[in-house]
């Protein structure tokens, strides 16, 4: 679990266990294939609270996946899947919606990183 003070977002990383080709293995921030799952209360790119999922390095076809209802791909400045907090709050099945979003993207990212 990490807290990033620049946006006060809370996140956790999933690591594929593989190194990124061409990156120095000693580079702790950039050497490992990974996905980041997080929540932020809003920032410069998206003013409202949202859940996000990113992948590093971004795999080919990452943004080809159809996302659960209410989620969308953000591609300005950085690329990731966004699920607005307001969408979850408005849902009668908020737990299921969030879990579907997290699971679907993790499975998709894992396949693309293989």
Among the listed residues 13, 11, 18, 112, the one whose alpha carbon sits nearest the alpha carbon of residue 65:
112
pLDDT in single tens digits along all 114 residues of the chain:
565 566 667 889 999 999 999 999 999 888 999 999 999 999 888 999 999 999 999 999 999 999 999 999 999 999 999 999 999 999 999 999 999 999 999 999 999 987
Among the listed residues 38, 33, 1, the one whose alpha carbon sits nearest the alpha carbon of residue 19:
33
Taking the C-alpha atoms of residue 94 and residue 20, their distance in angstroms, rounded to an integer, is: 35
């Amino acid at each position: 679990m990490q807290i990033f003070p620049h946006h006060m977002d809370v996140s956790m990383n999933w690591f594929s266990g593989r190194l990124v080709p061409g990156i120095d293995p000693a580079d702790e921030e950039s050497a490992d294939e990974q996905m980041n799952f997080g929540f932020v209360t809003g920032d410069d790119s998206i003013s409202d609270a949202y859940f996000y999922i990113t992948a590093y390095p971004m795999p080919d076809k990452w943004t080809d996946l159809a996302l659960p209802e209410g989620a969308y791909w953000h591609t300005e400045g950085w690329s990731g899947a966004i699920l607005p907090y307001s969408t979850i709050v408005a849902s009668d099945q908020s737990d299921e919606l969030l879990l579907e979003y997290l699971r679907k993207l993790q499975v998709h990212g894992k396949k693309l990183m293989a």
